[in-house]
Structure 1
Amino acid sequence: MKDAAMAYMDKLRIGTRFALLGVLAVLLVAVPTYFYVDQAVRITAVAHREAQGTAPVQSVLAVVRLTQQHRGLSALVLGGDTSAGGQRSTKQAEADAAYGAMVDEVAARAGEGPPLAAVRQAAAEWKRVAADVAAGRLTRSQSFAAHTALVRQLLTSLDLLADEFSLSLDPDLDSYQLIQAVMVALPPLTEDLARARGLGSGMLAAAQATPDDRLALALQVRSAQDRLALMVAAFEKAARANPELGSRVGSPMRQAIELATQATALADAQIIRSAVLGYDGKAYFSLFTRAIDAQFQVNAIAMQTLDQLLASRARGHLRHLVGTLVLMAGLAAAGALLAVAAARSITRQLGGEPAEVVAIARAVSQGDLSSDIAVRPGSESSIVAAMAAMQESLLQVVSAVRRSSDNIATGSSQIASGNADLSQRTELQASNLQQTAASMDQLADTVRNNSNAAHEANQLATAASEVAARGGEVVGQVVATIAEITEASRKIADIIGVIDGIAFQTNILALNAAVEAARAGEQGRGFAVVASEVRSLAQRSANAAKEIKSLITDSVEKVETGSRQAGDAGRTMDEVVAQVQRVSQLMAGISSATQQQSGDIGSVSSAVGQLDQVTQQNSALVEQAAAAAASLKQQAEQLVEAVRAFRLRPGM
């Protein structure tokens, strides 16, 4: 169902579619508009109906006023005041005319219904009561009760009229409170004042009052005061809601309140609380009558104001309704014009009907570029014109792609072949680099071993240098010791020399002693023997000293020779220490150079490893490039096949 509707819509022209949318919009707006207009008409009709109800209400209030006045005059006459008979007859005639006018007014405004039936019944009852009073068939209390019942029936008619003309539920605060004041509170207030007037007039005319009469009057006065308070409260609310209303009704309202207050105060002072009823009944009647007339005057002004308010509201509702309808009609016309303009604008922007545009787009999407797209005059910026330009561009592009796709396929084949050769050479290069990397690793191991050996030789050279240094120090100590021995040998030689001198001198002395002993003869023979022995000992000591000296001298010479040789050995050890230290320094340099060489070879080995990795990566990239070239070749072949799907114009 949905697909069928969409297919049907697709066949329609744009103008027809907008027309259907307009009809749908009218239908969518018509229903709420109908309800709104119906509600607005109802509100306007209610306002007009309320305005029509003020005249019947005023006619009933006029009848209530005359009935109340007739009740008071009848109380005077029936109470013994024959001077009020003429006024009562005149008031009866006025009431007869008012009752007739009331029935006619209610019949004309309300038609048949409960209000008309009520006022007709009240008019019939009035004729009966008026006839009985005129014939004197009723007592003062009976007349008062009959008039009161008649007024009560008239007030009921007021309620029926208020309901009939929708005055009971007025929607605006000012008019609602005004209705409450002049149609709900004021009529019962006038009735309470009128009943107080009738009761008090009768008591003053009779110059006597029973406790029950005083109680009845007191209840009427209290009720009147309460009604007055209700009326004032309702009027104040209306005045606050509508200050203009308060300014128009305020002055007579204040006067009516003042007179009502004076009347109730007079009844309280002169009758209810007074032991002697000596106040003039006509003055009492006149004050209450003026108070009641003031209430009715307020009612008349307020009803006139209410009539104006209701009429103004009805006209306002009517103006608002008409304005709304005119606005809606204008909006509808503007919408129709906008729809026509939109339809023409869309058609101009499309360059044709949507079905035509769809057909062109479908042909292009299917690869048919051979047809000519007709562009309407004035539609150079339309979608159809853009599609024509697009078709022309596609023709050029597809033609160029078709010419180039074969070249791309050939070139991609050559690239794939070259990439395959490059991949083989790259793999060979990667293999060579792997061998080079392995050789560099072996060389690095060898250099690392040499570095370790050089490091150990350096440590040995350092130890040898330390040993040589210690040997040099020992040789120095030996040279010093030999020097000390040489010095001791010299001292010994000196001592031996001294001993040799002593032996020589001893020999000389022994020789001299022998000479002296020879001179002494026999006496000196023993001394000569001793001298001879001393000389022999001195000679042996001298010989021993000479031998020792010779040995010491020889030892000194050998010690000096040893000292020279030890000094030569010390110098030689110094040279050895220096050479060993030089060798240690050279070995340290060799060790450092070997370590640096090992690090350089490690760097070279790492670089070769990285070169190997790069070569392998290049090999992988070459393989990827070969695969990409093969894929490019395949895609080029697919492109050739894809381009062949387009149908071009002959010669392209």
Structure 2
Amino acid sequence: MNQHQIRPVIYTYLTFISSSCHKAGAASLQRNITSLIEAKYRFNEITMPIFLSPAIALMQRLRLLPKFVIVALLFSVPAIVVTGLLIKELDKSITFTKSERLGVQQLLVSQELLRLLQQHRGLRHLALAGNASAKESSIKKQQEIFSKLSALEKMQLEQGNVDAAVPLKAIKQSWENIVQKLAATKNKDSYIDHSTLINQVYKLNSQIADYSNLTLDPEVDTYYLINMFSKTLPDLAEGVSDIAGRGAAYIDTGLLEPNEDVLINSDVMLTKRDIGRIPGQLEAMFRANPEFKNKMDSQQGVVAKNLEFLERTKTEILNTLRSLHDKKPSRVFTSNETIATG
């Protein structure tokens, strides 16, 4: 049905509307509707041939096969464009995931290096307090630390992580300096040097997480998991290792450096506070991905064990020191003195 055939039907319909209306404004409404429809069809009669006439003329001159080719192109070009955009997005996602996996591999080695440095710090602190077996153990740890540094350096070269190469070089230099002056370093200076180096490794871990896009993970569950893996748990490990390193010397010898009991007490309070935040992060992660809960059930006891360690520290070290201080007359210690409680 063409436009000339449609027009009488429209007029018949409008006539029916006019005959059915009994209000005073019905005739005016009819005239307005008629005018709008007439204007629309006049516009279509003028503009549609202008836009379509070139395409109609082209299709009339072509054979059947070229017509099919043109129609196929009209449908295939948008599909090809959409497919290309999809492949591009998938390639970005694959590159992003690959970068994250490489970052996790480096973080595993770097965190193992961090653990060895924390152990070496505690062993040297204990050795300088007079423990011979701790001195032998610290020598073994030195070889393990050199090995981890070489492994991390090799991994970064293979993966092309140039951004983390400079911090790693500084870490390696700091470690070599510590080893060279081990024999002449005093207990307090040794502990400070080790702690400074450990802070350098923490910064390296943050840089690895940033450069490998781990801190930009878009998924809620893996975002919380990565945050715990790269920041929360290493921070807790540093607090616990600092308590263990300082407290072990007191348990072994009954001696503490000046103000070391204050440092242990602050570590206990801060670590206890940070441990209290872990259940909230786990709950958010489990809410986003319930499957994580079954996989991490075996690790749930770690929090309780660390809390138990903190309570033992308070009972066996801090409370003991308080009771001894209450019994003895107070005095001021100089920076070169050591608190003897035995």
Q: Secondary structure of 1:275's match?
A: helix
- Structure 2: distance between partners of 1:151 and 1:232: 27
Determine whether 1:54 maps to 2:100.
no
Partner of 2:132 in structure 1?
A: 82
Offset of 1:60 from its aligned partner? Answer: 0.3
TM-score w.r.t. the length of structure 2 is: 0.74
Offset of 1:177 from its aligned partner? Answer: 1.5
One-letter code aligned to 1:187: P
Q: Secondary structure of 2:123's match?
A: helix
Partner of 1:36 in structure 2?
A: 86
Q: Secondary structure of 1:273's match?
A: helix
- Structure 2: distance between partners of 1:254 and 1:277: 35
Determine whether 1:71 maps to 2:121.
yes
Closer, same or farther in 2 for the Cα pair 1:235/1:106, shift >3 Å? farther
One-letter code aligned to 1:115: A
1:490-546 CA-partner distances (Å, limit 9, x unpaired): xxxxxxxxxxxxxxxxxxxxxxxxxxxxxxxxxxxxxxxxxxxxxxxxxxxxxxxxx
Counterpart pick for 1:122 among 171, 175, 191:
171
CA RMSD of aligned residues (A): 2.2
Determine whether 1:238 maps to 2:274.
no
Partner of 1:510 in structure 2?
A: none
Closer, same or farther in 2 for the Cα pair 1:4/1:179, shift >3 Å? closer
Partner of 1:257 in structure 2?
A: 303
- Structure 2: distance between partners of 1:169 and 1:101: 26
Offset of 1:86 from its aligned partner? Answer: 0.7
Q: Secondary structure of 1:114's match?
A: coil
Counterpart pick for 1:216 among 263, 267, 272:
263
One-letter code aligned to 2:125: A
Partner of 2:317 in structure 1?
A: 271
Partner of 1:509 in structure 2?
A: none
Closer, same or farther in 2 for the Cα pair 1:211/1:267, shift >3 Å? farther
1:70, 1:88 within 8 Å by CA — same for their partners in 2? yes
- Structure 2: distance between partners of 1:17 and 1:277: 99
Determine whether 1:132 maps to 2:181.
yes
Closer, same or farther in 2 for the Cα pair 1:83/1:210, shift >3 Å? closer
Offset of 1:55 from its aligned partner? Answer: 1.2
Partner of 1:181 in structure 2?
A: 228
Offset of 1:16 from its aligned partner? Answer: 1.3
Q: Secondary structure of 2:216's match?
A: coil
Unaligned runs of 5+ in 2: 1-49, 325-342
Partner of 1:464 in structure 2?
A: none
1:60, 1:154 within 8 Å by CA — same for their partners in 2? yes
Q: Secondary structure of 2:151's match?
A: helix
Counterparts in 2 of 1:523-562, with a 5 A limit?
none
Offset of 1:143 from its aligned partner? Answer: 1.2
Aligned residue-pair number: 274
Q: Secondary structure of 1:40's match?
A: helix
- Structure 1: distance between partners of 2:173 and 2:277: 32
- Structure 1: distance between partners of 2:86 and 2:72: 20
Closer, same or farther in 2 for the Cα pair 1:93/1:208, shift >3 Å? same
Determine whether 1:156 maps to 2:212.
no
Determine whether 1:18 maps to 2:68.
yes
Counterparts in 2 of 1:80-479, with a 5 A limit?
80-109=130-159, 111-133=160-182, 136-209=183-256, 212-251=259-298, 253-275=299-321
1:268-298 CA-partner distances (Å, limit 9, x unpaired): 22222223799xxxxxxxxxxxxxxxxxxxx
Closer, same or farther in 2 for the Cα pair 1:211/1:130, shift >3 Å? closer
Judging by fraction of residues, say which structure has more helix. Answer: 1
Q: Secondary structure of 2:214's match?
A: coil
2:117, 2:194 within 8 Å by CA — same for their partners in 1? yes
One-letter code aligned to 1:261: L
Offset of 1:205 from its aligned partner? Answer: 4.4
- Structure 1: distance between partners of 2:300 and 2:283: 11
Counterparts in 2 of 1:604-643, with a 5 A limit?
none
One-letter code aligned to 2:156: V
1:208, 1:277 within 8 Å by CA — same for their partners in 2? no
- Structure 1: distance between partners of 2:301 and 2:158: 34
2:125, 2:187 within 8 Å by CA — same for their partners in 1? yes
- Structure 1: distance between partners of 2:71 and 2:323: 89
- Structure 2: distance between partners of 1:24 and 1:163: 45
Offset of 1:165 from its aligned partner? Answer: 1.6
Counterparts in 2 of 1:466-545, with a 5 A limit?
none
Unaligned runs of 5+ in 1: 279-652
1:293-347 CA-partner distances (Å, limit 9, x unpaired): xxxxxxxxxxxxxxxxxxxxxxxxxxxxxxxxxxxxxxxxxxxxxxxxxxxxxxx
- Structure 2: distance between partners of 1:249 and 1:106: 30
1:533-565 CA-partner distances (Å, limit 9, x unpaired): xxxxxxxxxxxxxxxxxxxxxxxxxxxxxxxxx
- Structure 2: distance between partners of 1:57 and 1:140: 30
Offset of 1:130 from its aligned partner? Answer: 2.4
1:189, 1:227 within 8 Å by CA — same for their partners in 2? yes
Offset of 1:206 from its aligned partner? Answer: 4.8
2:156, 2:162 within 8 Å by CA — same for their partners in 1? no
Percent of pairs with identical residues: 22
- Structure 2: distance between partners of 1:220 and 1:275: 16
